[in-house]
Structure 1
Amino acid sequence: MARFNPSFLGSPSGKLGKSVFRQINGKTFVSNRPDTYNISQSKYAKNSRQAFAIIVQFAKLITSSPQLAYCWQKAKIKGTSAYHRVIKHNLPLTADGLLSVRNIIIPKGFDCVLKSELTADLYYLGNLNLLESEVKAGNSLNAYFIFALSNPEANQLNMEFLTNITSFDQIQDTRNIEFNINFNQSEKKLIYKYKKMFVFSAFIISGENKVLNSSSSLAKEFLINKD
């Protein structure tokens, strides 16, 4: 990039034909823009591009929930918005261009234990223990799930997503909350096109129209049984 000496007309910036003008530390530099750009086809480059595209989808799903977006926005994490924070935090946690169990849908919060299984006929069964966290009278508990489908059989996207929000009212025992998620026929048809499923979950306690407390993100990997 060459140094440009401005005339009495002032210092240019922007593009002019194939020339690009940039202002750096009060000085003007000019460079020529190529007609075409060489896009690397290395495995690392392809995985990086794929991972970014998937994380963008992931971030859109997460921040489409007002409660999850609020938790990202108020967290002490670098980033200008909830959406950009999700991307910035999750992109380094991908593996081979795909999501992994290290990825999260909510920043760190209270600890909880979730025992879960995916049955052969695609019922997602769960037992949640909130440990020391309390849900008081008048509070509500919302459970957020993102199901990320991976390893397609053929002619499918590398990853596809399903979402679910389950709400609990009048919880008697916060150490033994049982629930199940039933996928409809179209969802099951999609799931069976993949070999693997990542389940990301988060739990939010709210009351009087505001978030009171939130869990850390949980993740588990399941193999999809087609027998």
Structure 2
Amino acid sequence: MVRGVDGCPAGWIAVTIAAEGPLTPCVTITRNFADLTTGVEKIAVDMPIGLPETAGPGGRGPETLVRPLLGERQSSVFSVPSRAAVFAADYGEACRIALATSDPPRKVSKQAFFLFPKIRELDALLQAEPALVGRVHEVHPELAFWRLNGERPVPLPKKVSSRGHPPGLALRRDMLVGAGFPQSFLADPPRGAGLDDLLDAAVNALVARRLHAGTAQPFPDPPRRDAHGLPVAIWA
């Protein structure tokens, strides 16, 4: 079994599928990422892994490699600031530290700041349990859909003005059905997650299949390592 994971309002949403053959998907909601690390060979999670001491133009590096592939969807890939900024106590401090540890100087977006608790949770787990580093991989849903769409950007947005965009969600759902997911499985998200979260976790699970098969591609290739030895790459 392999697992695709995405952050959601209730914590984490995970879609687990067979590594080979029919997908046979199931969905789980949990508060703690550690709950998702058993029973599967590979985990593909939409959350930054590997934090820089200083951030360059566009973030750590992987972000600048995948954005050009996504066309109008490239704004969904936010720039990851320095480790010190991610571990700041509040938004003001995060911005001050990010300005001092980036070149050119760049503050932290609110979107990125709200993800910091989950980034810290994942970072702490991987440092505490190094054996997980070979099983847990960073992915990005829009890059995963790019791969599923024949390495072409998805033409419609998933959200407009922070709200779900029905045509874009329907297009992604149809792509997943074409990849083997039952239509009924993708009809309604579980309580604590949105439809976009469910679709993202599902497409991440397909990257986890590729990781298991050895056919997934890292950006950059080979992955870099941060100061703590964690890989810095987005897989697809």
TM tier, smaller: under 0.3
Larger relative contact order, structure 1 or 2 (CA cutoff 8 Å, min sep 6) = 2
Q: Compute the TM-score of the two structures, normalised by the length of structure 2.
A: 0.25
Q: Compute the TM-score of the two structures, normalised by the length of structure 1.
A: 0.26
